[in-house]
Amino acid sequence: MAPVRFQYKYNRDAKHDFVFFGHQPVRAYKTANRWKFVESEVRAAGRAIAALAWDPHDLVDPRPGGAGQQGGSRLEPTGWRAQIHGWIVRAARTAHEETGCSCGAVWGYGYEKSWGLRCGLTADALREQCGEYAIACVLPVASLAWTDDTWLIPRTLAFILDRQEETDENLGHTPTPCKVCGTGVTDPGRRPAAGSGGNVLCPACAQATLLSYRQQLDGKPYAKVRENGPPAQDYLCTLCDPPRPAAVWDHCHDHGLIRGPFSELTRASRDQVTGRSVLKGRAGMGLENCCERRGC
């Protein structure tokens, strides 16, 4: 385990605000613009990990589907298995380049051939290169054991990583209660990005409690609005139909002027098109002074 890796890292694509210590999820809470954990929850996660039986000699094959041809696997690896597989491949490629191996390997193809030690890669070299790489505060490479044709991993560690992936997936689909009425909300567009510290509102409560944007701040400097308010979270998204809670102030990156409040879903969609394309779909926004005339 690597407790030092236990920290919150903002990820706008994350589906929840939990950090994993092994297979134990610990929620992060945003207070005064800082992320914190509840000490009792952290200690409980540590105790749960410590209670697991650990035998470094009780090993299992991490290859999905079992052994395939040339020491590979029958199925393409996914999840934590794909991460470990990728580290092995990159380490082998480094060895290939350093030793001038003439095996003719085609990198990036043929995953079934890449679980073993090849191209001059040694077990010690792999551990040296990847021993500090962590998954959910776990250092899997440091625990790998080399056999005749593949790596084996302690059974307990495989259990931890499997449970972590399962729990992570389930948390991303668990309804989040509306902060006003308690109704479970599953629409990802109504859930603030993990890391925003925002609140979840069902459609009815969003309409009842948030403001409709009426171009009050169009063309205003984004820097001043960000510093002095009002926060975008006070408004409904100007594009979502039905309206969702806004999360950010959309603004022109060339001229620094406000366009309007966007939800997380709209912001993610906007990344795939130009600002001008988004504005064409926005009726009566009155942003000609910022975007249409200046070609944003």
Q: Give me the residues paired with residue 235 across strands.
A: 211
Q: Which residue has the tokens 């960000």?
A: 226
Q: Give me the residues paired with residue 249 across strands.
A: 261
pLDDT on residue 38: 86
Which element (helix H / strand E) includes 176? strand 176-177
Inter-residue contact 9 to 17 (CB < 8 Å): no
Higher model confidence: residue 262 or residue 271?
A: 262
Inter-residue contact 277 to 239 (CB < 8 Å): no
Task: Judge whether residue 144 has pLDDT over 70.
Answer: yes
Listed residue (152, 136, 156) closest to 53, CA to CA: 156
For the chain, give the mean pLDDT: 76
Task: Judge whether residue 66 has pLDDT over 60.
Answer: yes
- Which tokens belong to 125? 């070299």
Task: Judge whether residue 273 has pLDDT over 90.
Answer: no
Per-residue pLDDT tens digits for 238-251: 888 777 888 888 88
| Beta-sheet pairing, 24-31 with 18-21 | antiparallel
Q: Alpha carbon of 100 to those of 91, 92, 103, 127, 140: distances in Å? A: 14, 12, 9, 21, 28
Higher model confidence: residue 162 or residue 9?
A: 162
Q: Which residue has the tokens 């879903």?
A: 265
Mean pLDDT for the stretch of residues 239-268: 82
pLDDT on residue 167: 93
Measured CA to CA, the distance from residue 133 to residue 139 in angstroms comes to 6
Higher model confidence: residue 88 or residue 286?
A: 88
The phi and psi torsions of 125 (rounded to 5 degrees) equal -65, -40
Burial pattern 216-225, b for ≥16 Cβ within 10 A else e, equals: ebbbeebeeb
User: Which pTM was predicted?
Assistant: 0.63
Residue 270: burial class (beta carbons within 10 Å; 0-12, 13-18, 19+): middle
pLDDT on residue 13: 58
Measured CA to CA, the distance from residue 188 to residue 157 in angstroms comes to 32
pLDDT on residue 23: 94
Mean pLDDT for the stretch of residues 186-205: 61
Measured CA to CA, the distance from residue 102 to residue 124 in angstroms comes to 22
